[in-house]
Each structure stands twice: as C-alpha cells, then as structure tokens.
Amino acid sequence: MTLLAVAGCSSDPAQPDGARADAPVPDAPSIVDATPDATPDATPDAIPDARVDGPGPMGCVATTELVADIAPHRFRDVVTDGTHIVTAEYMTDGTGQPIDGRVVSRDLLASAGTTLHTSISGVSISTQAEWVYILDYGTTAILRWREGESPTQLITGVSNPQSVVANTTHIYWSSTNDTVDRRLIGGGPIEPVAMMVDTFSLFVNETDVYVGDTSPAVMWRYPTNGDSPTIAWDPTGSGFAIGIAQVGGILYWADFFRSVWRRDLATETNTLIASSAAALARPVGVAIRGNYIYVVDQFGADGSGIYRAPKSASGGTLVKVSPDGIGADVGPVVLGTYLHWGEYDKLWRCNLQL
C-alpha cells in the first residue's frame, strides 16, 4: 500500500461511470457503522477529535493510503460485512454500457482480494449483517454470500433490476419500471411494495422501507406491514435522498444537491446537519463513526473528496478532511478504525483513530 503524507484535499470531480476494480455506486445503500456511538445524537460532541478521529479536523490527511488500483475496471459499490470490504466493479463497452462486472472481497490487509462473483454486465451489492446481497444485471438474478460459503442464487428473472437491499426476513429490490418489490429470503411469492416511484435510493430496516424518489423529489416511508406510505422527508423539490443509513434510532442520508440530514425515528423529526459551501456540491454517501458523519462529495467546496460534520450539528458546514489530489465517487464505509471510499478506479482508506 502507498502511504500519503499530504495536506488539504481537492481533485477534479470523478465520474461515477469511471471506477476501477473496487467501485461503490452512489445508488447503493450506505453502510451502517458497527462502532457504537460515543455520544448521544442530541447532545454536543463531548469527545476530543484526537480520541475519536485523529488529530483535529484534518485527521484523515496524514493517514490516507491507497488500498487498490483496479484499472481498467471502476467502482460501483463499496460495502462491508463487518469483516471485509466488499466492492462491486465493472468496465464499460463502447456505448457506455457496463460489462465484465465482478464482486470482490478484501480484508484490511489485502489489495488484490478474492473474486466472489462475475457477470457479463454490471453488479450492485448491499449488506445485511454478515450477508452480502448481489444483484446481477446480466442474469437478472439476486444472490447472497457470507464468509465461508459460496454465493447462493435466491431469485431469477428480476425485471429491469436497479438495486437490492434486505432485512432479516425479506429481500427488496427496485427496478427501472418504477417499482419496488420484495420476497421472503427463504422463498415464496413476489409482493409489490411501491408503484410509480423513480427510485434514486433504497433502504430497509425491520419496520420500514425508505425510498428516495426523484419524481416527486421526496423520501417515502413504506411500512413493512403493508400500511399506507407516508412522506418522511420533503425538500420542497430541491433534492434527492441518497446514501440512506441508520445508527441506533437515527436515520442519516445525503441530499444529492448539497447537504446531509438526520431523522429521529422515535419523534419522526428531520434535522439539517450540515451543508456544503459549494453551490454545485454533490454528496452521494454517508458513514457514521463516533461523533461525526462522513460524506463522499463529488463536487465539494474544496474539490471532490471526503467531508465531515458533527453528527449532532444543526445547520453546520461540511469540512473537507481528505488530502488534495484524491477525489471520491462512492462510499464511504467504516471498517474498524478505517474509513474506505472509491475514486473511479482506486480504493482509498484513512485511519480515523491515531
């Protein structure tokens, strides 16, 4: 691995369509941090930066290192099963269509990784506990994998597949037909969940399915018991929910057009955490560790890269914490003390606790 000792952080905005062998996808659900919160969301941050995320607000700069360069592939998704970093990777043909898709698993020390699944087209992935769910665009099949086992095919013939998520009982998937469907993991009939939704992001817990819709530009909540849907977040037509993640009783997400938000699931109240100082910012994914929310911003105020804000903030400003010259397209995801993200065809990480 290559260790960088640089300051600042900016690079040309990376194209989501161009990643190398371990690329996360903006449409993919963000990964929930397994590290317990150090302080409650509703209280000011009580733990100094040096104890939680390295020395001060630029703690990621001196510890950023290259994990893998996968050219000519690029990244679509970066997730974790709690033990490995798992990536969806692909190339494109002359018309821009995805080809040569693959799913690769890496532990913290491996740059090459182990290929779990290949596709003639693209792949999308997500995780639920130790399980990795794989959506193969070429075979229109959904598979799942966990350490020590081979990928097992669960569903075939998914119509116009887009993204996949799961909770402990069901698999959910969206399609370009503007629908969301589900099926029991163990088998059974396919059940419709949502119709006429232009799905930009998809997230599920045990009680609700959250759909980031682009027309209208709202985040819907569909109860898993079949009750009527409600609007969980309405940015008055100005943004799209993406990178939805949950830690404890708090839901976090990025507004594709500038900001990051949280929702208290008990009180059903939404709070703007922080916004970018850039008018054309594009946050696409979030991860939570300790007192902070970390954000991949493709067009941030100080260039493409990793930004952060206190997760308990209200109306704050996103601050860049990754080095100059290193961009960000997909992720981020936390494994142990490391934050991982994809930049086109490169997989980066930094140590948040030094």
Q: In which domain, by residue range, is 25 found? A: 2-351
pLDDT digits (tens, 9 = 90+) for 173-212: 999 889 999 999 999 999 999 998 888 899 999 999 999 9
pLDDT digits (tens, 9 = 90+) for 241-255: 999 999 999 999 999
Helix, coil or strand: residue 254 = strand
Buried b (16+ CB within 10 A) or exposed e, 231-243: ebbebeeebbbbb
Instruction: Look at the block and give the residue holding tokens 């596709």.
Output: 119
Looking at residue 70, its amino acid is: I
Tokens, residue 304 = 């493409």
Is 90 exceeded by the pLDDT of residue 167? yes
In 3D space, the residue among 76, 48, 4, 11 whose CA is nearest the CA of residue 320 turns out to be 11
Helix, coil or strand: residue 51 = helix
What's the pTM? Answer: 0.84
Q: What distance in Å separates the CA atoms of residue 69 and residue 234, rounded to the nearest whole number?
A: 39
Please list, in sequence order, all residues whose beta carbon lies within 8 angstroms of the beta carbon of residue 29, skipping any fewer than 6 positions away.
126, 163, 165, 201, 202, 203, 243, 244, 245
Query: Is the Cα torsion angle 78, 154, 183, 99 positive or negative in sign?
Result: positive
The CATH number given to whatever domain includes residue 180 is 2.120.10.30
Q: Are 296 and 331 in contact (CB under 8 A)?
A: yes
CA-to-CA dists, residue 14 to 213, 288, 326, angstroms: 24, 23, 10
Helix, coil or strand: residue 73 = coil
Q: pLDDT-derived band of residue 354, with 50, 70 and 90 as boundaries?
A: low
Structural domain total, the chain: 1
Q: Which range is least confidently modeled, 24-33, 117-126, 142-151, 301-310?
A: 24-33
- Residue 12 host element (H or E): none
